[in-house]
Amino acid sequence: MTIIKPELLLESLPDGMYATDRERRITYWNKAAERISGFSGTEVVGSRCSDGILQHVDELGQQLCLGRCPLAATIEDGGTREAHVYLHHKQGHRVPVTVRVSPVHDSKGAVIGAVEVFSEDNGIHDLLRNLSEARREALVDELTDLGNRKSCELTLRSRIARLASHGVPFGVVFLDVDHFKFINDAFGHQVGDHVLLMVARTTERSLRPRDVVTRRGGDEFVIVLDNASPSTLEEIAERMRTLIEQSFITHEGTRVSVTASLGATMGVVDDTPDTAIARADALMYESKESGRNRLTIG
């Protein structure tokens, strides 16, 4: 009989897993944790959660690793916890994950650390990536792998038709990265592209499965929210804004981050793709004129 070593089992898990001591110093980091976060074990093991590697935030953008951390609470009281958070990927964007934390006890029952298992909250945002090559060229933005202008138009026509025939509401968000020209001028276009990818991935992963984010061009994105009420529109748009603000990449030791200005509106029956986008675009400019890094709804 072949005996499988415990560490081989841990390395085979599809979910990310890491362990810490009582000071929250990371002592173990499995392969799935590397895949989900982008950070290798050699980069992480030996560091503390508060050193700013994963930098978990909640939907309000509140930093968890410096205060309201489920793992720290588990070490303190020995309870188990589950939470939905957004970790910081090595490439800069935010990744939605479900974390489950359990205490680790010594032979006398004292808590000596904790183990956290985390898994991606996957939606269906990779639908366009599975299209044939010809369809991809027509509908997919080359840099971000999101839908392009044509894809956005087709999505909006479909949502307008559903609203007219079945009364299914939808929302439109126009998102523009603040001061993006400064990023290109200060760091170069390659870093600018990485920032756009960071914004695209963070935005994409802040949505629900049937919502769609598209790149209109440059630093502009249009997001179509399916079956959305006004309150849902505000909640999701504000979550996008907050998570972008909390995302960053590192270039030659410098932290590079951006904010975004957003305009959001509900679709109406007599809309066309152009009128819905124009309305959201105008609201986005109100956000710009009001100081940027904010959401305007109308």
Q: Based on the fold, state whether residues 215 and 196 are members of the same structural domain.
A: yes
When pLDDT is cut at 50, 70 and 90, the band that residue 156 belongs to is very high
What's this model's pTM, rounded to 2 decimal places? 0.76
pLDDT grade for 165, boundaries at 50, 70 and 90: confident
Please give the share of the chain, as a percent, with pLDDT higher than 70: 90
Residues 85 and 148 in one domain: no
The conformational region for residue 293 under phi > 0 = left, psi -120 to 50 = alpha, else beta, is: left
pLDDT score of 11: 77
- Of 10-19, 29-38, 130-139, least confident by mean pLDDT is 130-139
What is the pLDDT, as a whole number, of residue 124? 42
How far is Cα 151 from Cα 20, in angstroms, rounded to an integer?
A: 45
- State whether 169 and 279 are in the same domain: yes
| Confidence check: pLDDT of 92 > 80 | yes
Coil, strand, or helix at residue 205?
coil
Residue 223's DSSP bridge partners are 173, 213
Model confidence band, residue 59 (pLDDT cutoffs 50, 70, 90): confident
Token look-up 């979910």 returns: 15
Sequential DSSP letters for 41-76: HHHHTT-BGGGSSS--B-TT--BTTTTS-HHHHHHH
- Residues with a catalytic annotation lie at 219
219 within domain boundaries: yes
231-253 tens-digit pLDDT: 999 999 999 999 999 999 999 99
- What is the rounded CA–CA span in Å between residue 122 and residue 20? 26
Residue numbers of the domain that contains 32: 6-120
Q: Are residues 267 and 224 in the same domain?
A: yes
Domain stops at, among 75, 101, 120: 120
The side-by-side arrangement of strands in the sheet containing 16-21 is 26-29, 16-21, 111-120, 94-105, 81-88
Considering the domain architecture, whether residues 107 and 143 belong to the same structural domain is answered as no
Contact call for residues 131 and 139 (beta carbons, < 8 A): yes
Please report the pLDDT score of residue 5 as a whole number.
Answer: 66
Same domain, 287 and 191: yes
Nearest alpha carbon to residue 196 among 142, 156, 275 = 142
